[in-house]
Amino acid sequence: METITPQHFLILSFLLFTVGFLGVLIRRNLLLVLMSLELMLNGVNVALVSFSRTSLNLDGSLFVFFIMTVAATEVAVGLALLVALYKRRRSVFSEDTALLKN
């Protein structure tokens, strides 16, 4: 029977990261962009946890907690900004936020 090796986890994590990355680039709803950013960070977490488990080194698992905290604060700030923007503009779509053009 084949076992799941860290290589598989790395591929999974890379796929999650890529999906998130493409989501940030392609999605036009800013809420979904924030979700895609979360997906990228969680893809990183998958790789970290699996590396940490296979090498029996706890640093990676600890790092995951820092990443989760950072992701939470990022979303808190992002949602606050989005609510403030929505109150002024009545829209969360990126094509409606195009005041900053030369």
Partner 1 sequence: MDAYLIFSNENIWSEIWPELSLALGALFVLGLDLFRKPGSSTSLCGLVAIGFQAILLGVHLFDYLVWHHTFDRDTFSGMLTQGIQGDVMRSFFLFSSLLVSVLGNQYLKNKSLRSGEFHHLTMLATAGLMLLSQSNNFVMLFVSLETVAICFYTLVAYNRNSSKSLEAGIKYLIFGALSSSLLLFGIVLLYGVGSSPEAWGAVFDGAEGQDPLGFQYIGNLIEANPDHLLLRAGVVLIIAGIAFKIGAAPFQIWVADVYHGSPMPITAFLAVSSKAAGFFVLISLVNGPFLGMCDFLLPLFGFVATFTILFGNLASCAQQNLKRMLGLSGVAHAGYLLVAVMASMHFAGDSDRAIWVLFFYLFTYLLASFCVFGVMSLARLEDETDHEFFHYENLAKKHPWMGFVLVCGIGSLAGIPPFAGFIAKLLLISVAFEAKLYFSLSVMIIGVAISIYYYFGWIREITFHPKPSFSDDNDQNSPVIWEKGSYGLFKPCMISLAIISLVLGIWQGPFGDAF
Chain positions contacting partner 1, by CB under 8 A = 5-6, 10, 13, 17, 20-21, 24, 30, 33-34, 37, 40-41, 43-44, 47-48, 51-52, 54-55, 57, 59-60, 62-63, 66-67, 70, 73-74, 77-78, 81-82, 84-85, 88-89, 97, 99-100, 102
**What does the block give as tokens for 74?**
């990022």
Q: Which is nearer to partner 1, 4 or 81 (CB)?
A: 81
Alpha-carbon distance of 45 to 49, in angstroms, equals 6
- 10 Å Cβ neighbour count for 82? 16
